Structure 1
């Protein structure tokens, strides 16, 4: 059996269908979990307090920025309903066409999203468009195409990034990577992944019950503390990174 490979050739329409099929079902049966429950909160709390104009893209029901005062943009109608019910300002949209004015936000968070879009250049261009000069931009990206698994396909990933590739891609849009933290909770057991995917495909309601009532609480309980390090740091055997970037449009290289 051949090793699965990144799906760079997928169209936006195909990726939207895959992501909507997975996440709409997930969010329709999940509860909203506040940002203070995640290990990202100690790193983002002070950034959020210092930035009154904030945007979070595609948070689903796992927002990492405060509900009060943050603009949330998501494709999932189920997630938007739950966010609205909790008093958040949330609007329907996608990262490639944000329903926001130019230079609107001092802090932007877009976790677990860049790898889901076919045209990541357009996505980064949109983030640059709505960022104020000097804005902090938080992104997470999976690393190493050679580490691609069936799980990446299942959750709608389009690619993984080589470390040098993500540095260059960010720089093209004026984003300077200042710090990073080792991030992500993908299971290491291929057998466990296969079992989870089978249940999500064939026994979705039962799988969602176990995910929301057992696995998600356990995952939150056993989260490891995150620590910033300069630049990308050592990326060997790192599955995913949380990036803290600064938007410096004057630093954009000439094309």
Structure 2
């Protein structure tokens, strides 16, 4: 991946506008993909069976937790409408100001969200606040600033994390990494990402059609089982990682 790019400072307002402009049209044209279709399901099914107090933040139309008996929070009106249509409990909100009481959940999920907010300290503080003692946090983040590309900025990323940074940040808010797995469905080809970015910029409607009806179904079908390792593990060359954390 190119190494000469770096994220430019972005305000909360800029990030919010970028995320809305990218994801609201995406969810408007998308169908909900049930959580059973993702390679996270074996882990999620096991964890969900142990807890009926569950929260997933910003799932869009790709929820990983069961739709029944899970609380969902999202900014997208389209995503909320379609989640509710499937019987889910979904409310409008942000990771920086969760509309729930302290220590309310035993299982909290935030997939592909922390890198989208300017105040990640505040976001993790909110996750820690609503998580009960001993709760499990499922968190995925992109790694390595050297892997930054213009596509990160295009999809509303604020940063990529160095492994020691995310470890220290989680520890500061009372979370210990128990296990991890290489994660994500982003194409490895920088050329494909450039083509995708061009179409999303200049021919958005056509790009959304292809993404939702062709590329996303193929990506889901080609997922490999997650390979778990203790702690953070070796992150050399890893683009994105899924962390299973415990609130200590």
Same fold (TM over 0.5): yes
Give the Cα separation in 2 of the matches to 1:227 and 1:175: 21
Distance 1:2-1:187 versus aligned 2 partners, 3 A rule: closer
Question: In the TM superposition, what are the counterparts of 1:122-201 in structure 2 within 5 Å?
Answer: 122-201=122-201
Give the Cα separation in 1 of the matches to 2:158 and 2:208: 24
Give the TM-score normalised by the residue count of structure 2: 0.98
Question: Which 4+ stretches in 1 moved above 6 angstroms?
Answer: none
Secondary structure at the aligned position of 2:193 is classed as helix
Runs (5+) with no aligned partner, structure 1: 249-255
Output one character per residue of 1:185-225: Cα deviation in whole Å (capped at 9) or x when no partner: 22121221111111111111111111111101100111011
Give the Cα separation in 2 of the matches to 1:187 and 1:142: 13
Give the Cα separation in 2 of the matches to 1:170 and 1:6: 22
Give the Cα separation in 2 of the matches to 1:76 and 1:228: 32
Give the Cα separation in 2 of the matches to 1:158 and 1:109: 19
Which residue does the alignment assign to 1:4?
Answer: 5
Correspondence 1:42 to 2:42: yes
Give the Cα separation in 2 of the matches to 1:32 and 1:2: 35
Correspondence 1:70 to 2:65: no
Does the Cα contact within 8 Å between 1:43 and 1:226 map onto a contact in 2? no
The CA RMSD measured in Å over matched residues stands at 1.1
Give the Cα separation in 2 of the matches to 1:92 and 1:2: 37
Give the Cα separation in 2 of the matches to 1:132 and 1:40: 22
Following superposition, the deviation at residue 3 of structure 1 comes to 2.7
Does the Cα contact within 8 Å between 1:52 and 1:69 map onto a contact in 2? yes
Secondary structure at the aligned position of 1:128 is classed as helix
Distance 1:152-1:138 versus aligned 2 partners, 3 A rule: same
Output one character per residue of 1:57-106: Cα deviation in whole Å (capped at 9) or x when no partner: 00000000000000000000000000011000000000000011111000
Which residue does the alignment assign to 1:121?
Answer: 121
Distance 1:237-1:205 versus aligned 2 partners, 3 A rule: same
Which residue does the alignment assign to 1:79?
Answer: 79
Secondary structure at the aligned position of 2:91 is classed as strand
Output one character per residue of 1:127-176: Cα deviation in whole Å (capped at 9) or x when no partner: 00100000000000111001101110110000011111111000000000
Following superposition, the deviation at residue 227 of structure 1 comes to 2.1
Correspondence 1:215 to 2:215: yes
Output one character per residue of 1:34-62: Cα deviation in whole Å (capped at 9) or x when no partner: 00000010111110111110000000000
Give the Cα separation in 1 of the matches to 2:147 and 2:113: 18
Following superposition, the deviation at residue 2 of structure 1 comes to 8.8
Which deviates more from structure 2 when the two are superposed, residues 39-48 or residues 60-69?
39-48
Secondary structure at the aligned position of 2:84 is classed as helix
Give the Cα separation in 2 of the matches to 1:167 and 1:208: 35
Give the TM-score normalised by the residue count of structure 1: 0.95
Does the Cα contact within 8 Å between 2:141 and 2:160 map onto a contact in 1? yes
Give the Cα separation in 1 of the matches to 2:3 and 2:169: 29
Query: How many equivalent residue pairs?
Result: 247
Runs (5+) with no aligned partner, structure 2: none
Output one character per residue of 1:106-128: Cα deviation in whole Å (capped at 9) or x when no partner: 00000000000000000000000
Which residue does the alignment assign to 2:14?
Answer: 14
